[in-house]
């Protein structure tokens, strides 16, 4: 096993000093000379057509310099995930949907102008739950109907009807799950400034390159004319995955000829921010008397709100535990994702997995109780093993394995679920009886559950590593650090390969103009996916540095190593060169390598994460 000297060490978080002393600059902290303040007029109706908008009085308010309505914006879609969201639309789909925006010299003038805008609405029937939105007589919230995935999602393995026929016991239950808001400490904000035909946007974001693409489509300008910068992020949780705000700020700034910043209030966040999907999950599970699971059938009906956003991903991931957490040859998962007239739901913390796991683990506890089995024993018996699910592999053997697989016959790269269950139970004291409180009005109980998640492989990822002739080491990544520590972990990985201290690695993150393309920081994928690209880039830079050192030390490359900023001969460490001296030998200004991995992952293994939870409740 490779001995690591940097990776795995406890090092200070790179972003902590600025945050701890209040020097971190968030989107709402930024201000440019002559900047205007933008505010949003929101719909008072859950569903309506906008017949007309009269801004004449608002335009007369001193200090007002731009007003944008659905009647003077590009009609292109603007959303990084879904294509059902215009910058502004003549139909509003929830209370709080954007109707118009105003930019003025201060907040008071902008808010006063909003109060003077006259809007004529044609009020329409509205639906706040999935069942009513999917009823046959419901009117369309979007063209094409109220199913955001049409036809509905249906995936499975084996034959569930045969599996239920083999069962000695079949149990089923329906679970209702409410939505809730992420309420990050930092409300979202965006600031835009134009220089001729080019625009720079600073915004709360998890993906500057994704937002750059969305803005290019929405504003109908080339991507190279857009620079997207992500300042410090005050909590994302998936809640800030949208680009409408940036487009509105950019349009106001272009119209006014001055920088414009729009900052959401806390009320705006609750009204117009993303929420976790509410919904209903129906589960049916068949088991033998010895506890072996013969069939699992799950159906989710999810409320995606007014716009799909990441709803299709949520619908899919809500079923992954149902499909893959328990060893079972016969599984079926179906999902109905419904548009409603509620605020848009989105990719909030694990993107649907909590909803699915809540239903699954609750029913599995009931089944264990009905069989007279301990909850831990039932899960140890039925957990998915390291070799994966039963059944044949159906995908081509050279294809990267989906991190949310359906098929059987593919092992995991690692599967520590048994260890999680065993060690968790020992640490918790699962076998010890609970003492009940003396107060008879109180009860004490214990419970446990387990989980599977698709962490690791993500979307196309890239990294650039460079060593200058001066010895300066740089790492460029388009990722945003959303609190998980990418700006600390990735430099550690580069330092490990290049034989230096993490503090020696200069980093640039979250700037579309200077960093390679990157996806949003999401799904527990950043370290694996961007890290894989980084490892390859740093390894190539290391190879070239060792080639240079080989001449200087008059030793073959295979006899050289790098540690603590020095290249040395492994069997005679006294023969060494400082890395800065090695870099000075290069002919160019720098050795630079950029590596892109189109599809991160493995063709031989499923890359997933596992966990077990134990709790005591009084």
Residue 79 is predicted with a pLDDT of: 40
The residue out of 342, 375, 408 marking a domain boundary is 375
Mean pLDDT of the chain: 94
Please tell me the distance from the alpha carbon of residue 263 to that of residue 277, in angstroms, as a whole number: 25
Look at residue 272 and tell me whether its pLDDT is greater than 50: yes
Is residue 582, in this structure, part of any structural domain at all?
yes
Is residue 50, in this structure, part of any structural domain at all?
no
pTM: 0.91
For the domain that residue 555 is a member of, what is the CATH number? 3.30.365.10
Look at residue 193 and tell me whether its pLDDT is greater than 70: yes
How sure is the predictor about 75, in pLDDT bands with cuts at 50, 70 and 90?
low
For residue 89, how many other CB atoms are within 10 A of its CB? 18
**Rounded mean pLDDT of 442-461?**
91
Shared domain check, 485 and 345: no
Is residue 177, in this structure, part of any structural domain at all?
yes
Its domain, for residue 349, covers 130-181+276-375
SS (H, E, C) 110-150: HHHHHHHCEEEEEECCCCCCHHHHCCCCCCCCCCCCCECCC
Please tell me the distance from the alpha carbon of residue 389 to that of residue 323, in angstroms, as a whole number: 10
Shared domain check, 490 and 587: yes
Residue 78 is predicted with a pLDDT of: 45
In the chain, the number of structural domains is 2
Reported as a single tens digit per residue, the pLDDT across 220-229 is 899 999 999 9
573 burial level (CB within 10 Å; 0-12, 13-18, 19+): exposed
Look at residue 525 and tell me whether its pLDDT is greater than 90: no
Shared domain check, 474 and 346: no
Please tell me the distance from the alpha carbon of residue 10 to that of residue 142, in angstroms, as a whole number: 50
Please tell me the distance from the alpha carbon of residue 362 to that of residue 321, in angstroms, as a whole number: 12
Share of the chain above pLDDT 70, in %: 98
Look at residue 241 and tell me whether its pLDDT is greater than 80: no
Q: What angle do CA 240, 243, 245 make, to 5 degrees?
A: 90
Residue 458 is predicted with a pLDDT of: 82
How sure is the predictor about 81, in pLDDT bands with cuts at 50, 70 and 90?
very low
Residues 6+ apart with CB under 8 A from 536: 595, 597
DSSP run (H or E) holding 169 = strand 169-177
Is residue 235, in this structure, part of any structural domain at all?
no
**Rounded mean pLDDT of 79-89?**
70
Residue 37 in contact with residue 104, Cβ under 8 Å? Answer: yes
Residue 76 is predicted with a pLDDT of: 53
Start-to-end Cα distance in the chain: 45
Is residue 521, in this structure, part of any structural domain at all?
yes
Look at residue 1 and tell me whether its pLDDT is greater than 80: no
Is residue 150, in this structure, part of any structural domain at all?
yes
The residue out of 331, 358, 375 marking a domain boundary is 375
Residue 313 is predicted with a pLDDT of: 92
CA torsion sign, 215 to 217 to 223 to 225? negative
Is residue 382, in this structure, part of any structural domain at all?
no
The residue out of 352, 375, 398 marking a domain boundary is 375
Shared domain check, 364 and 484: no
Reported as a single tens digit per residue, the pLDDT across 118-152 is 999 999 999 999 999 999 999 999 999 999 999 99
Look at residue 80 and tell me whether its pLDDT is greater than 80: no
How sure is the predictor about 456, in pLDDT bands with cuts at 50, 70 and 90?
confident
Is residue 280, in this structure, part of any structural domain at all?
yes
**Rounded mean pLDDT of 465-473?**
97
Residue 255 in contact with residue 68, Cβ under 8 Å? Answer: yes
Residue 159 in contact with residue 286, Cβ under 8 Å? Answer: no
Locus of tokens 């046959």: 136
Shared domain check, 469 and 348: no
Reported as a single tens digit per residue, the pLDDT across 369-414 is 999 999 999 999 999 999 999 999 999 999 999 999 999 999 999 9
Residue 181 is predicted with a pLDDT of: 87
């Amino acid at each position: 096993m490779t001995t690591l000297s940097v990776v795995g060490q406890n090092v200070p978080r790179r972003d902590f000093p600025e945050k701890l002393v209040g020097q971190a600059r968030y989107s709402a902290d930024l201000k440019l000379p002559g900047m205007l303040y933008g505010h949003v007029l929101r719909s008072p109706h859950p569903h309506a057509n906008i017949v007309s908008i009269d801004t004449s009085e608002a335009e007369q308010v001193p200090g007002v310099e731009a007003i944008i309505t659905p009647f003077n914006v590009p009609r292109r879609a603007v959303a990084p995930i879904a294509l059902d969201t215009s910058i502004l639309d003549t139909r509003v789909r929830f209370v709080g949907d954007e109707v118009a925006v105003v930019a003025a010299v201060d907040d008071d003038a902008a808010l006063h102008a909003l109060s003077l805008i006259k809007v004529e609405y044609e009020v329409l029937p509205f639906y706040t739950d999935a069942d009513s939105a999917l009823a046959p007589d419901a009117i369309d919230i979007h063209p094409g109907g109220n199913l955001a995935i049409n036809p509905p999602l249906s995936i499975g393995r084996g034959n569930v009807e045969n599996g239920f026929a083999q069962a000695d016991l079949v149990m089923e239950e329906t679970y209702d799950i409410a939505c809730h808001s992420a309420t990050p400490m930092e409300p979202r904000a965006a600031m835009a400034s134009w220089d001729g035909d080019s625009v720079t946007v600073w915004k709360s974001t998890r993906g500057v390159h994704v937002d750059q693409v969305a803005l290019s489509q929405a504003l109908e300008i080339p991507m190279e004319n857009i620079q997207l910068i992500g300042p410090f992020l005050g909590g994302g949780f998936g809640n800030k995955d949208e680009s409408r705000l940036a487009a509105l700020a950019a349009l106001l700034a272009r119209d006014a000829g001055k920088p414009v910043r729009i900052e959401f209030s806390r009320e705006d966040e609750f009204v117009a921010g993303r929420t976790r999907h509410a919904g209903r999950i129906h589960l049916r599970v068949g088991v033998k008397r010895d506890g072996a699971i013969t069939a699992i059938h799950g159906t989710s009906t999810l409320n995606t709100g007014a716009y799909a956003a990441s709803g299709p991903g949520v619908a899919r991931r809500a079923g992954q535990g149902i499909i893959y957490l328990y060893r079972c040859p016969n599984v079926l998962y179906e999902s109905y994702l419904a548009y409603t007239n509620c605020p848009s739901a989105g990719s909030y913390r694990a993107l649907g997995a909590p909803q699915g796991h809540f239903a699954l683990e609750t029913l599995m506890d009931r089944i264990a109780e009905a069989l007279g089995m301990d909850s831990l024993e039932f899960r140890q018996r039925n957990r998915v093993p390291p070799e994966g699910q039963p059944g044949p592999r159906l995908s081509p053997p050279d294809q990267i394995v989906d991190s949310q697989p359906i098929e059987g016959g593919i092992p995991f790269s690692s599967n520590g679920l048994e260890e999680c269950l065993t060690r968790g139970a020992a640490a918790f004291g699962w076998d010890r009886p609970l003492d009940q409180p003396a107060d008879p009005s109180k009860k004490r109980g214990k419970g446990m559950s387990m989980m599977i998640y698709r962490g690791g492989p993500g979307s196309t990822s890239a990294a650039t590593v460079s060593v200058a002739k001066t010895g300066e080491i740089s790492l460029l990544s388009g990722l945003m650090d959303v609190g998980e520590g990418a700006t600390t972990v990735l430099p550690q990985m580069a330092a490990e390969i290049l034989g230096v201290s993490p503090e020696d690695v200069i980093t640039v993150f979250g700037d579309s103009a200077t960093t390679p393309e990157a996806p949003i920081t999401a799904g527990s994928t950043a370290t694996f996916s961007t890290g894989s690209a980084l490892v390859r880039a740093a390894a190539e830079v290391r190879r070239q540095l060792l080639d240079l050192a080989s001449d200087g030390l008059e030793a073959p490359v295979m006899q050289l190593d790098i540690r603590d900023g020095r290249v040395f001969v492994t069997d005679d460490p006294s023969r060494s060169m400082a890395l800065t001296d090695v870099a000075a030998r290069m002919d160019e200004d720098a050795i630079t390598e950029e590596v892109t991995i189109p599809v991160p992952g493995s063709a031989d293994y499923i890359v997933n994460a596992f966990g077990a939870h134990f709790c005591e409740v009084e």
